[in-house]
Structure 1
Amino acid sequence: MIGRLKGTVISVSEDTAIIDVGGVGYEIYAAARVLQGFQIGEDVVLSIETLVREDLIRLFGFPSESERAAFRILQTVQGVGAKHALGILQVLTPAELYDAIAAEDLTAVCRAHGVGKKLAQRIVTELQSKVGALAATTGDGPTLVARRAVDDAPADQAVGVRADAVSALSHLGYDGVDARRAVARAAEGLDSPGVEVLIKAALKELAA
């Protein structure tokens, strides 16, 4: 299976790009935000997920291994295919997706094209037991757990604190995505904060 490609962009369409690798053109499917960042003639490096079915083989490209891993884990949910997974990663980074699942924020997941409340609920419910694996994929994002956790107990504790802080801010009327980003920024400057400390720091971030 192909897991990584390094080559030159030779064409870009709405859903795909052609990457030339040693004279061979590979058609890569990717989220729109990724494709929009491509320039014809530039060199790119992509993590690749190869989807093999009886009637087709498709390559999906991601700018990081964390996005590739999130793409995989999303498709373990019943009813979530490659299209839905790409749509979710179009509007949420892996770190934001992880936080949305931990906080049971259906609104954030529903922002993805084609994802309704029922499917969002299934994603949150089925991935609750897998949030640890998802957190481990977010090393290049703002998730505190991915950078600091060395075993399951600290990770679970940090997850709970962040989720409680996001939930509190949401109940205060702040947008879920804005609340998660503020909590993530606040957590970066604090060493294992409690919920109240994290909320106060996040409120300062939101005010700024």
Structure 2
Amino acid sequence: MIASLKGILDRIGADHAVIDVGGVGYLVFCSARTLAALGTEGDAVAIQVETHVREDHIHLYGFADRAEKELFGLLQTVQGVGAKVTLQILSALAADDIRMAIASGDVATITRAPGVGKRLAQRIASELKDKVGALPARPAQAGAAPGAAPVGGAAGDAASALVNLGYRRAEAEAAVLRGAAIAGEDATVEALITAGLKELAR
């Protein structure tokens, strides 16, 4: 089983990255926050991986840190929460925010994730309330990887612009983060709005 990868970032897609390890390209599905933290194409990257083996496929899921990886596994213990929904939750909310929302029973925050309705959010909060305390906390330190904190700066302004156009805050932030991973960290607000709209149109 593949537990981690170190290599060169070959390219980034809407929900995945391709990492070149010794000439072999591994397609790894990731949250928008992890994609934003990877950097730009051609950069050296190291990513934690969880491997899912099914009868019809083998999927790799990548994470920028252990906190996100542990949450990925825990969230899927709840009925109705598969890998796709879990990545949407991890894209919309930082790991610490998810932990806090579950621990406090904050259903409204959990429903910020696209595809998560009130009933499913209530189930997540109820079933995992006593389990989140055992998970590792995301390190909070200067120079933390981009995407580890709630969306702010130019990305935050771009997300707010998309919200003003009628999109939900969670989906707007996730789209802008995916767009930022492609446009680069120096992208202007206007460029991020355009990139975000392209992601929303996919």
- In structure 1, the partner of 2:199 is none
Aligned residues: 140
What residue ranges of structure 2 are gaps of 5+ in the alignment?
A: 142-202
What residue ranges of structure 1 are gaps of 5+ in the alignment?
A: 143-208
- In structure 2, the partner of 1:88 is 89
Report the TM-score, using the length of structure 1 for normalisation: 0.64
Report the TM-score, using the length of structure 2 for normalisation: 0.66
Would the aligned equivalents of 1:95 and 1:141 in 2 still touch at CA under 8 Å?
no
Distance 2:67 2:75 in 1: 12
Structure with the bigger RCO (C-alpha within 8 Å, sep 6+) is 2
- In structure 2, the partner of 1:116 is 117
1:21 partnered with 2:21: yes
Paired residues for 1:65-144 under 5 Å: 65-134=66-135, 137-141=136-140
Question: Offset of 1:46 from its aligned partner?
Answer: 0.5
Distance 2:140 2:89 in 1: 16
Distance 2:16 2:111 in 1: 24
Render the CA deviation track for 1:114-160: whole Å, top value 9, x for unaligned: 000010000000001212223xx215149xxxxxxxxxxxxxxxxxx
**Aligned alpha-carbon RMSD (Å):** 1.4
Would the aligned equivalents of 1:94 and 1:141 in 2 still touch at CA under 8 Å?
no
Distance 2:36 2:93 in 1: 16
Distance 2:140 2:57 in 1: 33
Distance 1:139 1:62 in 2: 12
Render the CA deviation track for 1:11-31: whole Å, top value 9, x for unaligned: 111121110011111001011
Render the CA deviation track for 1:179-201: whole Å, top value 9, x for unaligned: xxxxxxxxxxxxxxxxxxxxxxx
Paired residues for 1:1-208 under 5 Å: 1-37=1-37, 38-134=39-135, 137-141=136-140
Distance 1:61 1:9 in 2: 13
Aligned-pair identity (%) = 49
Question: Offset of 1:65 from its aligned partner?
Answer: 0.9
Greater fraction of residues in helix: 1
Counterpart residue type for residue 14 of structure 1: A
